[in-house]
Amino acid sequence: MKSLTTGSLATHESEHDNYKEQSLRGYLRDGTSANHQRVDEQFARFNLNDRHDYISFLSAHARALLPIEAALDQQGAHRIIPEWSARRRSDMLCADLNRLNAEIPPSLAAPQLKSDAQIWGAAYVLEGSKLGGAFLAKGVPDNFPTSFLTPNMAKGSMKLFMDSLDRADVDHPVEALGAAAAVFGLFLQAARLERERLVS
């Protein structure tokens, strides 16, 4: 299976054919693996043992996650995503920043999320990022707040999301891929911004 990246979004027809050969999750995972690698590399540069770095790490997430969750709220994500409101983590992120006496940073501009396909694509990235979060939380000192990295998810909630994603019969899967890539792009932009602020 050809790996799809943001750069190959022009070939809509062949991507749709790829989608038909696999699940929507598989299509999104393959299509954004290079994007994931880039955000992973940027976020791995924060030293989560260090208070300043940890605040920057959370602030980078806030710059991207808050506007995306707000956009998903506005577009009625609850219509199609099971337990959408329980999946949101904006409040946890703000609570952790508050506990660290850090300000909530300004939001970046969220990508357009209008169609159901775009909603699924964006939600896939946010939901998937919880997998990395659980892994990263192990490196955070006990005295730092981690409600964002370790949200109290109902048992089986990730599987429920991924199964629903696979059952979602979206008309234009390429729109889901475009939204997922755009959301990854926003996280990358946020991480770079916070890295620059840390070193300046």
Q: In the complex, which residues of this chain contact ligand HEM (CB under 6 A)?
A: 25, 29, 36, 39-40, 43-44, 124-125, 128-129, 131-132, 135-136, 184, 187
Instruction: Give the shortest CB-120-to-ligand HEM separation in angstroms.
Output: 12
Cβ atoms 150, 104 nearer than 8 A: no
Tokens found for residue 48? 């989560």
Instruction: Give the shortest CB-119-to-ligand HEM separation in angstroms.
Output: 15
Identify the H or E element spanning 98.
Answer: helix 90-99
Cβ proximity to ligand HEM: between 56 and 101 the closer is 56
Cβ proximity to ligand HEM: between 49 and 135 the closer is 135
* Residue 61: φ, ψ to 5°: -60, -40
Cβ proximity to ligand HEM: between 13 and 164 the closer is 164
Helix axes 51-74, 173-199, angle to 10 degrees: 150
Instruction: Give the shortest CB-178-to-ligand HEM separation in angstroms.
Output: 15
Instruction: Give the shortest CB-41-to-ligand HEM separation in angstroms.
Output: 8
Cβ atoms 121, 183 nearer than 8 A: yes
Non-local CB neighbours of 48 within 8 Å, separated by 6+ positions: 54, 57, 136, 139, 140, 144
Instruction: Give the shortest CB-97-to-ligand HEM separation in angstroms.
Output: 17
The candidate with the shortest Cα–Cα distance to 80, out of 22, 124, 145, is: 124
